[in-house]
Amino acid sequence: MRNTFDAQDSHVGGGMMPQNVAASIDEYVSAFPEGTREALERVRALIHESAPDAVETISYAIPTFDLDGRHVVSFAGYEHHIGLYPVPLGAAGFDDLAPYASGKATARFRLGEPLPDDLIRRAVVHQVQRIKTGR
């Protein structure tokens, strides 16, 4: 890991503070407590299922999946939730995303609650389609 200053709301802990930036998604996930690791790994697996050609990377200090040189989706762990970015808030067929909406294109899934697997899959597929159609 390399040390940097992360101005985003901290992924491990809370608040702005110096952080170690993971070199891989495995390294990123390993820094979290067991329950959070399990949720992060589940989100990662759902993204792989929905975007099998996407490549794992770290961007802005969080796990990101790229396709054709563009970011498809990113996710991050926090003290009380998992964040997924971007998501198609307000898009047709995504009314069930509303309870998880946080910000312009962010979904927050509370830790300790079941992940909405189908919703995550559909959100990722939507992002893949946007990239493939150039939107």
Per-residue model confidence as pLDDT tens digits over 66-75:
999 999 999 9
Q: What residue ranges define each of the domains in the chain, with the CATH number in brackets?
A: 32-132 (3.90.1150.200)
Omega before 116 cis (within 30°)?
A: no
pLDDT at 19: 59
> What is the reported pLDDT for 4?
34
Residue 14's pLDDT is what? Answer: 42
Quote the pLDDT of residue 64: 98
Give me the amino acid identity at 1: M
Per-residue confidence (pLDDT) for residue 11, from 0 to 100: 47
Query: Do 109 and 80 touch, CB atoms closer than 8 A?
Result: no
Residue with token string 């495995």: 26
Which stretches of the chain drop beneath a pLDDT of 50?
Answer: 1-18
DSSP the chain: -EEEEE-SS-SSSSSSEEEEEPSSHHHHHHTS-HHHHHHHHHHHHHHHHH-TT-EEEEETTEEEEEETTEEEEEEEE-SSEEEEES--TT-TT-GGGGGGB-SSS-EEEETTS---HHHHHHHHHHHHHHHHTT-
Residue 28 and residue 58 in contact, taking contact as beta carbons nearer than 8 Å: yes
pLDDT of residue 2: 38
Give per-residue burial for 56-65: e unless 16+ CB within 10 Å, then b. eebeebbbbb
